[in-house]
Structure 1
Amino acid sequence: MAETMSGMTRSHRCTEVSNENTGETVTLMGWVQKRRNLGSLIFIDLRDRSGIIQLIFDENETDKDGFAKAETLRSEFVIAVAGTVRMREGNVNSGMATGDIEVVVKELRILSESETPPFPVEEGVNTKDELRLKYRYLDLRRPNLQRNIILRSQVATGIRKFLTEEEFLEIETPVLTKSTPEGARDYLVPSRVHPGTFYALPQSPQLFKQLLMCSGFDRYFQIVKCFRDEDLRADRQPEFTQVDMELSFVDVDDVIDLTERLIANVFLESIGVEVQLPMTRMTYKEAMERFGSDKPDTRFGMELKDLTDAVKDCEFKAFTDIPGDGSVRGINAVGQGGTSRKKIDALVEYAKGFGAKGLPYLIINEDGSYKSSFSKFMTQEEMEAIAAAMEGKPGDLILISADSNKVVFDVLGNLRLEIARSLELLDKDQYNFLWVTEFPLLEWSPEQDRFTAMHHPFTMPMEEDLPLIDTNPGAIRAKAYDIVLNGTELGGGSVRIYQNDVQEKMFNLLGFSQEEAYDRFGFLLNAFKYGVPPHAGLALGFDRMMMLMTKEDSIRDVIAFPKVKDASCLLTAAPGAVEEKQLAELCLKIDKSEKEGQQ
């Protein structure tokens, strides 16, 4: 039978005990990590969230009942012990925070026994993700995950402290709100009280934080849960957390300055990393042309170079028969001229996954001669022009894409990352922050045959581009900004539209009639009739930031109870079926034929 704690009070967590406590009696509680039985001596590694400490059960010093119980201990038993701290005798473990001390146990209570865990509860264990997530409560006992979750809490506390000192107010916004489908899918919640109608879980508090600016709360923030019913990747979850901010009477530089100081403060206080300010800024146009991405990883080079002029008169049709909005560009994998044909073929197939029809390549041999997949169509001068434009040297491998700019950027932007991964150029100890600014305001959707907002319908155009609304809307730049860390979009925001005439033109560009605009966003547009301040905001992806701060490869390792790729929870088996009675109350009925067809 399990014992109780009655009369015992924990005096320390495991690693709060140090050599300064030598000779003192301490009371510790936690989980058995490991047991070693040497007959008259039993050694136990006791673990709690702070770490591990070694316990000794000595036949001559531990009470008889306690020593007998110590012989029954197994991994993950929960115990309470009282004992005396002493220095270790010649077996100091420099790899442990408490490696120079041990606790000689006088009294032991077994508070809870454990079955044999389905996997070892220890750091670095090689267990399938599916098993780890099914038994997440065991997985979370592992020291590395505990450190991640503890750091997450510390960072959240640091953010709140910083923003509070900057005179922000933490204000909660609704979780049950109205669906405004534009972009990713909403999670819908049926209403029992209003049959046939639905709430939506928020993809962002966007409209409410703008309403708060209308309400006079000129600095708002919230560490908030958001929801998107979209396909998952390593840095996405159906429910995620963001640090959400909105400020009145500010412009782009004000938001960027505040965000930089917030991040610098949090990184220094939480993980001891000094972030250099001001951070680099780069326009969207420059980012795409240099890196093929609007979230460039600048920890390594391999930048894109424009070869269009160098090959414009060649006889290689792949270089000359390109769309009017296209170009010929390349990347130089320095020193990789010795790459095997098999690996080059693998890169070709990888490029095809991003729309490439092929992947012309050029190897500069050590003697300065060229080996190429297209050399028979080129003169020596044209080959030299390519090499010169790519700053190629003997031993280099040049990879080229020729197509629409969209395809070229997608292909080469992803290729440079793939090559960097294979060459282990991505240093997780390096933190390269970057602002990308001046995004296009709009992007054309062939499916919808209209422009859509790249950010959202309330993003302010750059003032100098306002005349283009009537003549060339696709060329309008937005007062939008993303903060990027090591090739991951850490967050983004924009200055908002607050003038009615500009907002009406924006809705017209997006194909919304006045009636449709008011149907979707009427509560915000009505609020704007009563005096709205200029305002701007930003949201940081908290899970992504924690993933990068902890040097993990997936945000699942910084979230206590994450979902898997199909948005299900292996621990609770959610989502699940509900009783017919519940469906009836909601005036819902499952189409079983449709359900069976999906199985």
Structure 2
Amino acid sequence: MLDNLGDFKRDYFCGELTENNIGDEVRLLGWADSVRDHGGVIFINLRDKEGIVQIVIDPSKSPEQAYEKAKRVRSEYVLAVRGRVNRRPAGTENPKLKTGNIEVAVEELKILNTCDILPFPIEDNINVHEEVRLRYRYLDLRRPQMLKKLILRHEVYQATREYLAGHGFLEVETPMLTKSTPEGARDFLVPSRLEQGKFYALPQSPQLFKQILMVGGIERYFQIVKCFRDEDLRKDRQPEFTQIDFEMSFVSEEDVIAISEGLVHYLFKKILGIEINLPIKRMSYEEAINRYGTDKPDLRYGLELVDITDISKDVEFKVFRAVAQEGGLVKGINIKGGARLTRKEIDNLTEYAQKFGAKGMAWIKINEDGSLQSPIVKFFTQKQIDQIISRMEGEKGDLFVFIADKPEVTHRILGFLRKHIAEMMNIIPEDRWEFVWIVDFPLLEWDEEENRLVALHHPFTSPKEEDINRLDEALNNREIALSFKSRAYDLVLNGEEIAGGSIRIHRPDVQKKIFELIGISDEEAEERFGFLVNALKYGAPPHGGLAFGLDRLVALMTGSDSIREVIAFPKTQKGICPLTQAPDYVREEQLEELGIEVELPQEET
């Protein structure tokens, strides 16, 4: 028989009680975190969102009715408790609990609900498959670790609003049902019942609407907004994710960067008590690629890429010589102390590089006695070996690994390899925050599959001022187009891109030329982006903005391995919600209302 809550009112949260409450009668509500029977005296750790307090039911002191109920209590039963706060007997204190010096002697106990056998314990550091945790997410969220992460996420929301509102930004909502304007990831489509055959799209970002808000004279807009992309998922991607999105009128890159740095400083100081040094360092896209193989470099450790292409042009090793003479790159990484790696471990590194497209991986080991060990050293003269060791800053005990291929392939593979090596060698320092702005991105890149130029960020990013006057030249000259730099900027933290933005195109003539460069005709531009282009004709101010990936930022702030750890109800890597089993089939009559006929996979028919 269960009890009703009735007019029972909570006085305190469990974790709020202190020694100042000793002698007070209190009423508490929560879950039985654990139950222990010590020779007839029952101890229950009562838990709510603020913490845990020990309650005591002693048959010699508590009412018989309360004691009989306490004997029935099991883990995760829902309880209401009235009792008096006492100091714990000497020697029984629990320093692990905030309330470890006190306990509550129970005078009244209500069992509000029971709990079935748990699929996993409600405690931190459990060894349970993630899909099971997501299927029972309501239990997973009770774990203190998960609760702390959601509380920190809440604090990021509140602090963001405080900071941006304090700097003159207005919070404005933009539509969730909008027009499909595919340029990048796939859209999620929503069929219209009233306009059969037509579809809304869920926004990949509020990009076009926030630009229109600038045309509308809002000047400073922000929004903590849901975005949707139908793309393949990884640990740092979800089909729906959250952005801290803002846009400003009459600004340059410096203005947007200053506001962004201020927000980062405010969040880390207010929430984590960490002082971020400003201004944040900057690095050009070209420098980042050349030194680290990626535009998202992790600066917490070295392992920089070293170019030996010039040395490789005349070596007997055919792989290096052919790549060096044909315009490719031969680059390597010096793994300090790597000479201790076994041949099997080096072979594993080669296999890892091959996952990302490497044809192979060359290596040279400098043993502790100064001798060289490598399958390739016989193809080099002593002078060439000395040059390589000098260029790589080699010492006894080092291991050099090399990739030789087209520049973009060499950089990509070494970028992934660098991170893998750092993890393998355990050289990534903890509790260190390395921010860097990546600037001077190319405006465009060549897409081999589509055989056309595409925007590196998006087609609304402004070229550098000096390149705007050369747009006409670039229409018939791919090399000129690929030389253009954009007014874009990405913020990277510990090797993860946490924010990206740009100064936008505010002139309709420039926007039209960019569309031409990437192969979008006037008719297609009007169909897909006409509402924006038309808005630009009516006195659009210069404007720019930025969006933080809130999920990724919170994951880093909480030390989580995946953004799924900081989202209340995430999807799996297959885009499935184990809790609700979404996506799922719908009833035939629902499809008929929408004028949709679905072709089911053969095995599901």
How far 1:468 sits from its partner (Å)?
Answer: 4.6
**Residues of 1 paired with 2:375 and 2:234: CA distance?**
35
How far 1:294 sits from its partner (Å)?
Answer: 0.4
* 1:530 aligned to which of 515, 529, 538: 538
Q: 1:425 to 1:598 in 2, by over 3 A?
A: farther
Q: Equivalent residues in 2 for 1:365-380 (5 A)?
A: 365-380=367-382
**Residues of 1 paired with 2:338 and 2:467: CA distance?**
44
Aligned residue in 1 for 2:390: 388
Aligned residue in 2 for 1:77: 77
**Residues of 2 paired with 1:467 and 1:385: CA distance?**
45
How far 1:426 sits from its partner (Å)?
Answer: 2.5
How far 1:403 sits from its partner (Å)?
Answer: 0.8
Aligned residue in 1 for 2:477: none
**Residues of 1 paired with 2:428 and 2:177: CA distance?**
41
Whichever residue aligns with residue 241 of structure 2, its letter is F
**Residues of 2 paired with 1:122 and 1:114: CA distance?**
16
Describe the SS at the equivalent of 1:321.
Answer: helix
Question: What is the root-mean-square deviation in Å for CA atoms of aligned residues?
Answer: 1.2
Aligned residue in 2 for 1:265: 266
List gaps (5 residues or longer) in structure 2: 475-479
Whether the aligned pair in 1 keeps the contact of 2:62 and 2:107 (CA below 8 Å) is yes
CA offsets per residue over residues 461-485 of structure 1, 9 Å max, x none?
Answer: 1112335532410111110000001
Whether the aligned pair in 2 keeps the contact of 1:25 and 1:82 (CA below 8 Å) is yes
* 1:591 aligned to which of 583, 599, 604: 599
How far 1:598 sits from its partner (Å)?
Answer: 8.5
**Residues of 1 paired with 2:543 and 2:97: CA distance?**
51
Residue 245 (str. 1) matches residue 253 (str. 2) = no
How far 1:163 sits from its partner (Å)?
Answer: 0.3
**Residues of 2 paired with 1:483 and 1:596: CA distance?**
46
Whether the aligned pair in 2 keeps the contact of 1:311 and 1:386 (CA below 8 Å) is no
Aligned residue in 1 for 2:314: 313
Residue 214 (str. 1) matches residue 215 (str. 2) = yes
How far 1:542 sits from its partner (Å)?
Answer: 0.3
**Residues of 1 paired with 2:125 and 2:538: CA distance?**
58
Residue 12 (str. 1) matches residue 18 (str. 2) = no
Whether the aligned pair in 2 keeps the contact of 1:428 and 1:551 (CA below 8 Å) is no
* 1:517 aligned to which of 516, 525, 528: 525
**Residues of 2 paired with 1:22 and 1:146: CA distance?**
28
Aligned residue in 1 for 2:118: 117
**Residues of 1 paired with 2:327 and 2:569: CA distance?**
46
CA offsets per residue over residues 467-512 of structure 1, 9 Å max, x none?
Answer: 5532410111110000001111101000001122221211110011
Aligned residue in 2 for 1:564: 572
CA offsets per residue over residues 306-335 of structure 1, 9 Å max, x none?
Answer: 111122211111112127442111111111
Residue 340 (str. 1) matches residue 346 (str. 2) = no
CA offsets per residue over residues 441-467 of structure 1, 9 Å max, x none?
Answer: 111111111001111111011112335
* 2:563 aligned to which of 547, 555, 562: 555
Q: 1:325 to 1:509 in 2, by over 3 A?
A: farther
**Residues of 1 paired with 2:584 and 2:507: CA distance?**
46
How far 1:88 sits from its partner (Å)?
Answer: 1.0
| TM-score, normalisation: structure 1 | 0.98
Describe the SS at the equivalent of 1:530.
Answer: coil
CA offsets per residue over residues 79-123 of structure 1, 9 Å max, x none?
Answer: 010111111112111111111111111110011111111111111
Whichever residue aligns with residue 28 of structure 2, its letter is L
How far 1:150 sits from its partner (Å)?
Answer: 0.8
Q: 1:303 to 1:278 in 2, by over 3 A?
A: same
**Residues of 2 paired with 1:415 and 1:52: CA distance?**
45
Aligned residue in 1 for 2:298: 297
Whichever residue aligns with residue 75 of structure 1, its letter is S
Shifted more, 498-507 versus 30-39: the winner is 498-507
**Residues of 1 paired with 2:17 and 2:429: CA distance?**
35
Describe the SS at the equivalent of 2:578.
Answer: coil
Whichever residue aligns with residue 315 of structure 1, its letter is E
Residue 497 (str. 1) matches residue 505 (str. 2) = yes
**Residues of 2 paired with 1:109 and 1:424: CA distance?**
52
Aligned residue in 2 for 1:234: 235
Whether the aligned pair in 1 keeps the contact of 2:331 and 2:402 (CA below 8 Å) is yes
Describe the SS at the equivalent of 1:584.
Answer: helix
Describe the SS at the equivalent of 2:373.
Answer: strand
Aligned residue in 2 for 1:92: 93
Whichever residue aligns with residue 172 of structure 2, its letter is I
Aligned residue in 1 for 2:276: 275
Q: 1:20 to 1:162 in 2, by over 3 A?
A: same
Describe the SS at the equivalent of 1:8.
Answer: coil
How far 1:356 sits from its partner (Å)?
Answer: 1.0
Whichever residue aligns with residue 370 of structure 1, its letter is L
Whichever residue aligns with residue 408 of structure 1, its letter is T
Whichever residue aligns with residue 511 of structure 1, its letter is G
Whether the aligned pair in 2 keeps the contact of 1:468 and 1:475 (CA below 8 Å) is no
Shifted more, 202-211 versus 49-58: the winner is 49-58
Describe the SS at the equivalent of 1:85.
Answer: strand
Aligned residue in 1 for 2:29: 29
List gaps (5 residues or longer) in structure 1: none
Residue 195 (str. 1) matches residue 196 (str. 2) = yes
Whether the aligned pair in 1 keeps the contact of 2:337 and 2:399 (CA below 8 Å) is yes
Whichever residue aligns with residue 95 of structure 1, its letter is K
Describe the SS at the equivalent of 1:240.
Answer: strand
How far 1:215 sits from its partner (Å)?
Answer: 0.2
**Residues of 2 paired with 1:127 and 1:354: CA distance?**
30
How far 1:50 sits from its partner (Å)?
Answer: 1.0
Whichever residue aligns with residue 434 of structure 1, its letter is V
Aligned residue in 2 for 1:136: 137
Describe the SS at the equivalent of 2:120.
Answer: coil
Describe the SS at the equivalent of 2:283.
Answer: strand
**Residues of 1 paired with 2:427 and 2:276: CA distance?**
21
Describe the SS at the equivalent of 1:337.
Answer: helix
Residue 65 (str. 1) matches residue 65 (str. 2) = yes
Residue 575 (str. 1) matches residue 577 (str. 2) = no
Whether the aligned pair in 1 keeps the contact of 2:366 and 2:397 (CA below 8 Å) is yes
Describe the SS at the equivalent of 1:386.
Answer: helix
Describe the SS at the equivalent of 1:562.
Answer: coil
Identity %: 51
**Residues of 2 paired with 1:279 and 1:504: CA distance?**
35
How far 1:435 sits from its partner (Å)?
Answer: 0.5
How far 1:424 sits from its partner (Å)?
Answer: 2.0
Whether the aligned pair in 2 keeps the contact of 1:186 and 1:227 (CA below 8 Å) is yes
Whichever residue aligns with residue 593 of structure 2, its letter is E
Q: 1:17 to 1:456 in 2, by over 3 A?
A: same
Aligned residue in 2 for 1:438: 440
Aligned residue in 2 for 1:474: 482
Whether the aligned pair in 1 keeps the contact of 2:511 and 2:533 (CA below 8 Å) is no
How far 1:514 sits from its partner (Å)?
Answer: 1.2
**Residues of 2 paired with 1:403 and 1:468: CA distance?**
32
Shifted more, 220-229 versus 506-515: the winner is 506-515
Whether the aligned pair in 1 keeps the contact of 2:507 and 2:537 (CA below 8 Å) is no
How far 1:581 sits from its partner (Å)?
Answer: 0.3
Whichever residue aligns with residue 535 of structure 2, its letter is A
Residue 464 (str. 1) matches residue 466 (str. 2) = yes
| TM-score, normalisation: structure 2 | 0.97
Whether the aligned pair in 1 keeps the contact of 2:333 and 2:418 (CA below 8 Å) is yes
CA offsets per residue over residues 204-226 of structure 1, 9 Å max, x none?
Answer: 00000000000000000000000
Shifted more, 231-240 versus 361-370: the winner is 361-370
**Residues of 1 paired with 2:308 and 2:509: CA distance?**
43
**Residues of 1 paired with 2:342 and 2:534: CA distance?**
64
Whichever residue aligns with residue 358 of structure 1, its letter is G
Residue 352 (str. 1) matches residue 372 (str. 2) = no
Describe the SS at the equivalent of 2:298.
Answer: coil
Whichever residue aligns with residue 516 of structure 1, its letter is E
